[in-house]
Amino acid sequence: MIITCPHCGPRDLAEFSYFGDATATRPDPSSTDQDAWNAYVYDRENPAGEHREYWQHSGGCRGFVIVTRNTLTHEISDIRLASGTQARRKRK
């Protein structure tokens, strides 16, 4: 698998670390809604197909990217920088 880092270009999978599902939204830190926290920590959609996920280019620029990858074929259809995505989502 080759992942194209927006900073560094196409690099081997071995340079990257996986950080999991990028679709889960963290509940508000002051939230005491136990179900919401449980769902965030434990429950996953786990799709067979397109999956949005965090990777870190740990062997390169160390930046975090959001990769859209097909879990059946490993085909990557989109890569973008992760920085600011959480913040942007919150402002909406």
Partner 1 sequence: MAEYSAWQVLKNAVTGNAGWRPAWRKPEPKPSYDVVIVGGGGHGLATAYYLAANHGFTNVAVCEKGWLGSGNIGRNTTIVRSNYLLEGNTPFYEHSMKLWENLSHELNYNVMFSQRGIINLCHTPAQMDEAARRGNAMRLFGVDARMVMPDELAKRVPGLDLSQNARFPVLGGLEQPRAGTARHDAVAWGYARAADRRGVDILENCEVIGFLRDGDRVTGVKTTRGEIRARKVAVCVAGSTGRVMKLAGIDRLPIESHVLQAFVSESLKPMIDTVVTFGGGHLYISQSDKGGLVFGGDIDGYNSYAQRGNLPIVEDVMSEVVALFPAAAKVRLLRSWGGIMDMTMDGSPIITTGPLPGMYLNCGWCYGGFKATPASGWCFAHTIARNEPHPLSAAFTLDRFHRGHVIDEKGQGSFPWRH
What count of other Cβ atoms lies within 10 Å of the Cβ of residue 82? 16
Binding status of residue 43 toward partner 1 by CB under 8 A:
yes
Q: Minimum distance between the CB of residue 32 and Zn ion, rounded to whole angstroms?
A: 38
Are residues 19 and 64 in contact, defined by beta-carbon separation less than 8 angstroms? yes
Binding status of residue 42 toward partner 1 by CB under 8 A:
yes
How far apart CA 42 and CA 45 sit, in angstroms, is: 10
13 makes contact, choosing from partner 1, Zn ion, none, with CB < 5 to 8 Å by partner type, with: partner 1
5 makes contact, choosing from Zn ion, partner 1, none, with CB < 5 to 8 Å by partner type, with: Zn ion
- Residue type for position 33: D
